[in-house]
Chain A
């Protein structure tokens, strides 16, 4: 017998062991997210996918689906909190969309569009962060890192390399590189690694490829992240 839970009033079937996120995606329902990716172990840090499960707030990407659960995702309150969390991600780093080569292909920006975010609301932190351009093929702009750890997981779980780690604590969190010098060129990262291509923002970009597709013709310029996500995430598993 198929088990189901209710998501925003709709019955969602699920298999034992699936998270709310996995079941929702399989049933064609988008729950906003940034640190979740179907190919990697759920992490649960960005909290965009927070949903109300029987009245309690849980991250949909890590919380197991259970028979009879009532899950609320598309409520005014959830989406307003999501917008605020997205604004927090914007103000803690240095995100200059108009001059960013990832603009239009950036999931952070895509989620912000989806949530109808029109300003940053909070005080900017303007942190001082470096750029690592030491690698011949890959550049890291730490200003754009949102600590989703997707590169950490992709490197460990798919590339078998362990190139990245999230270090520090609190607002001083930072992405670091596993090499004696701490620089990317001395790490094992290559342009073909999954970790190189997984960044949802413009923190890890591939050199010599910027602007091949003009702004205006990019992924989220014509399609909402909810649609793109359903096409991509839904096809993986």
Chain B
């Protein structure tokens, strides 16, 4: 192990900021982060043991105890459940002889759940040793179980198992455009960098990750900082359940993205960029590395870009299973080799970001839009969309539609028209912007996709009338509890309490005070949490409670107060200890 770690650290330049990459390599080799490795890293990197453990402990893809040689993580997104996930996971559990949440005794295989893997257009999906496996069905599971028993390395598995498709159903302003490598950089050079920034301002481009900050303003603020060392960061950590549009953009339009990042480097005068790629997209890592290398060879990246004396390069950093790292300051923490905990703001990343230097963090789609605006001009972009939301939005549409995939639509498009595009029928409601966004019912389909009405970072999940609202809410609420970083009290404790409260209703133990308790807790989280995760964690419940109070009411079993759990079931342990099972050792549920 000593030699392995020494080589690994050498390859990573003994940089503490590369801790994520280092831990990923150790996890992949030893199926966990062994204690000896932590001691070695501590000594060689000069980091406290406790720091390294805290990072391992934070990310769901790192483990202090061994996982199986084949570690299977089943995606737990609501859309996976809608595609019979639970039965398939049970089947997989049976075929591989491994319990859910467990490692098989011989250490060959382990199985657990994970948050949405970004394959909602081709679920149910899983990750095997980090690599995406979409479209799971019984024959595929049989094959996987067989390959695991044979002990064949992943590299020798049939490629079809890992086949991820780009399904683009509707293109618009951006996806219909063309861009020759280097074209936007030359256009910016001809027009002048300040004038190019001005074109982006004229385009009224706003951040595509969902928050919608004005891109040009962000870049201008960063560029006007006195500190000369500045960073360009691409947030490719799309973790919002139901979103996968960046996966398609990274696979198909990586050139445009790199071009956009390079353009940004010219405009804010930066020499170093980072592409923070969500760990779930490990399959895109090598292709993206190859693309970067190709651009370096072609003089589009690295030293003396296009012979103009510009210098800029990009490093790809992989995440390790943490939704909160999509929040820009948590992402920066992760880039620096720490747990993804959102920073206190101010200061904002534009003044103190990566290594406390001025940093812009933008979404994949934002960089792509900027590259095209540099060529075609601000007016071209602003000609579509609304006054406050210019241009188009690339949506990931999934759930109850016969055509899940990518749709590019102008901002301002009514939801009804989007539903027509994807041939959705019998629709109950749509989750716009993912669990942290808004659930709208079928009475609101005249509302529009726009920052001023219904914003979305890309997620658009359709539910038909057969779906159970409370099951959706339960899935989303548990997702937030699982992903809470635990830094602040309201979110750390509140998301768990909220999950318990929803479960209580779902399981049929609701009593009269429970709806008020839900509302109060939801408001507390929204108002007092440290970052967007806690502030939006109650949205699924609050949105649906406002729209379908009768569903929640129907779950109130006890008109006054009743036990919040099954009394008889709670006595099971005591019965077992006392070796009793007579009628006196049982309780009937009061209120029944």
Contacts and interface: CB of A to CB of B under 8 A. Distances in A.
Interface of A: 42, 44-48, 50, 57, 59, 62, 64, 81, 84-85, 88-89, 91-92, 122-123, 125, 146-147, 162, 164-174, 176-180
B54 A165 contact: yes
Interface residues of B, number: 37
7 contacts: A62-B344, A84-B524, A92-B492, A164-B50, A171-B486, A174-B57, A179-B49
B279 to A, nearest CB: 15
Most B C-beta atoms less than 10 A away, residue of A45, A170, A173, A179: A170
Interface stretch (B70-78, B182-190, B477-485): B477-485
A169 B500 contact: no
B493 interface: yes
B351 interface: no
Nearest to B346: A64
A123 B493 CA distance: 10
A178 B346 contact: no
B561 interface: no
Contact of A177 (B50, B482, B492, B493): B50
Given A45-B488, A88-B489, A178 B497 contact: no
Nearest to A146: B489
B433 interface: no
A171 B39 contact: no
Interface string B492-516: 1111110010000000000000000
B50 A170 contact: no
Nearest to A165: B50
Nearest to B496: A171
Given A85-B489, A171-B486, A176-B54, A165 B500 contact: no
B55 to A, nearest CB: 9
A84 B521 CA distance: 9
B53 interface: yes
Given A44-B344, A45-B488, A169-B322, 13 more contacts: A45-B530, A47-B490, A48-B489, A57-B527, A64-B346, A92-B492, A147-B486, A162-B51, A168-B57, A169-B339, A170-B483, A170-B486, A179-B49
Given A46-B489, A88-B489, A89-B489, A166 B524 contact: no
Contacts of B520: 84
B493 A169 contact: no
B50 A167 contact: yes
Q: List the 5 closest pairs (A to B, CB-CB), nearest first.
A: A165-B50, A178-B50, A88-B493, A167-B54, A173-B486
A64 B348 CA distance: 13
Nearest to B38: A180
